[in-house]
Structure formats: C-alpha cells, structure tokens
Amino acid sequence: MATQHSRSAARLMNAPAVFVLLVWMLIPLCMTLYFSFTDYRPLRGVFDCCVGFENYGRFLGSSAFIDSVLTTLLMVGGILVVTVVGGVLLALLLDQPMWGQGIVRILVIAPFFVMPTVSALVWKNMFMNPVNGLFAYLWKFFGATPIDWLSEMPLFSIVWIVSWQWLPFATLILLTAVQSLSSEQLEAAEMDGASALSRFYHIILPHLGRAITVVILIQTIFLLSIFAEIFVTTNGAFGTRTLTYLVYQRVLESQNIGLGSAGGILAVILANIVAIFLMRIVGKNLDN
C-alpha cells in the first residue's frame, strides 16, 4: 500500500512531464483563442485586436460550415462502420488456429504503421488511378470502363483509404477481447445445439461490447481531425471538405488567421462535445 511519502515522491517526479505537457497544449490553444478575436491578415498588413465574436459569426454563418460538419460526420461514421465490422470479422478469423498465424497477424497490423500521407499516395497512384491503377487494369480485364474513384466516388474512396489504415487498430483491440472469452461457454452452447450464428449473437457479440465502444471512442477522437488523406487525394474538392480542411483553407489559402482560429476553436468544441457524448456511452457500457 502506497504511503503518503511515496505518493508525494511520485507526484514530484511526474510534475515536470505534466508541466511540459500542459505548456505544449495550453500555449497553442491560448494563442488560437486570442487570434480568434482579432482580424489578422498578415499578407494584407491587417491587424485589429478587438473584433469580438465577429469571426465566429462569419464562420458559423458560412454555408461551407454546415457542409463541412455533415461531411465530417458522414466520413467518421462510414469509417467506424467499416473498421468495427471488419475488425470483428478479422478478430474472429485470426483467433482460429492456422499455419503461420504470427506472420498473418503481423501483416494485418502493418497498415497501422504506414504514414497517412504515404497511405493516401499509394492508394491514389497505385490503386485508384483511372489510367495506370490496379483497379483500372482489373476493370479493363473484365471488359468494364475504369472508374475515376476520387472524382466519381470521392467520399467512398477516402472512407476506404482511412479505414484500411485504422482497421488493424480495431482488429488488435477486438482480437484481445475475443481471446479473453471463455471457451467453455462456446463449447456448452455448441453442445446444447446452438448454431454458429446464434453463438456469435448471444455470446461473442455481447462479450465484445466493451471493446467495440472503446474502439469507437478512440477512433472518433482521432478521425474528427482527418486532414492528410484529403489534402493528398482531393484537396477538399468533390464534397470531401471536412471541418479541419475548412479551417486549413481559411488560415493558409485565404490568409485569414482570425477567421481560421475561430474555426479551430469551434472544431475543438465540436470534438469535445462528441467525446463527452461517447464517454457517457462507454461509461454506461463499462458499468453493465
């Protein structure tokens, strides 16, 4: 049992790391909050430190804001569906005894370690290119006309690219949960005549409930800030401009630091609202 002296020593040793972390987070956040109340356009030599909530009103009143929020939610929802469903199926498959199981698991995990920019470039040029991509050659082989994925099906393409990278994360979490399931329950259900589908629905899926909620929570927090894949593939065109990309356009392309900072604060608020909502769902699931 930890004594008061040991707890005080632990706090003292953790203090430098906590201080650095707080400074690392708070300074950019405070600067963003300050700039959000200014009219700061450096290329035009404009700086007005007292515009109040004008930037927030302009950002919220823009038609692009609602569209970007809807695009973000659709994109995150689509990725979650693909990764959770695919993660459950892969976890069940990898839990089965097979030759070279360790190598197979490493290959499944590998996409998670690929940089988002590299992943997007590979999919854009090697797979989805309408002229020289692998999918184009497959379409031609079967006598069909190749599809320009990023212009004809842009939202689906980005969802697929990001899902490919996040699927290993979901698979790892769900595989751990599957392996913690008692085999005696499945054997008893099988002896009672329960089908494979019935065993999955009544035993395996409820057991995976906590792991699924954790996967949804963690992935949602990170996926709300999708940027690299959109920047590399579509540049926000064809209805793929998320809230994060809209902030980028306001800051760098329009050179309006104040307006972009207001959008950044709104994005942080939206992410926290979603995180709090999901935390409540996770908390209820973990308490059951």
What confidence tens digit (pLDDT) does each residue in 37-56 have? Answer: 888 888 777 777 777 788 88
DSSP track, the chain? ---HHHHHHHHHHHHHHHHHHHHHHHHHHHHHHHHTTSEEEGGGTEEES--TTHHHHHHHHSHHHHHHHHHHHHHHHHHHHHHHHHHHHHHHHHTS--TTHHHHHHHHHGGGGS-HHHHHHHIIIIIS-TTTSHHHHHHHHTT-PPP-HHHHSHHHHHHHHHHHHHHHHHHHHHHHHHHTS-HHHHHHHHHTT--HHHHIIIIIHHHTHHHHHHHHHHHHHHHTT--HHHHHHTTTTTTT--HHHHHHIIIIIS--HHHHHHHHHHHHHHHHHHHHHHHHHHHHHHH-
State phi, psi for 130 to the nearest 5 degrees: -70, -10
Q: What is the mean pLDDT of residues 22-30?
A: 82
CB 233 within 8 A of CB 120: yes
For 56-287, CATH gives 1.10.3720.10
Q: What's the pLDDT at 160?
A: 92
The residue ranges of every structural domain in the chain are: 56-287
State the average pLDDT for the chain.
83
| Residues with Cβ within 8 Å of residue 145, at least 6 apart in sequence | 139
Rounded CA gap, 237 and 234, in Å?
5
What is the pLDDT confidence band of residue 282, given thresholds at 50, 70 and 90? low
Residue 283 has pLDDT above 70, yes or no: no
Half-sphere exposure of 80 (CA within 13 A, CB side): 19
Q: Is the pLDDT of residue 145 over 70?
A: yes
Instruction: Count Cβ atoms within 10 A of the Cβ of residue 66 and give its class: 0-12 exposed, 13-18 middle, 19 or more buried.
Output: exposed
Q: How buried is residue 210: exposed, middle or buried, by Cβ count under 10 Å (0-12/13-18/19+)?
A: middle
Burial readout 122-135 (b: 16 or more C-beta within 10 A, e: otherwise): ebbeebbbbeebeb
The pLDDT of residue 285 is 59
Classify residue 107 as left (phi > 0), alpha (psi -120 to 50) or beta: alpha
What pLDDT is stored for residue 286 in this prediction?
56
Give percent of the chain with pLDDT exceeding 70.
94
Q: How confident is the model at residue 3 (pLDDT cuts 50, 70, 90)?
A: low
Q: pLDDT value at position 1?
A: 47
pLDDT in tens, 67-78: 998 999 899 999
- What is the average pLDDT across 24-31? 84
User: Higher model confidence: residue 106 or residue 33?
Assistant: 33
Statement: residue 269 has pLDDT above 90:
no
Give the number of other CB atoms < 10 A from CB of residue 223.
20
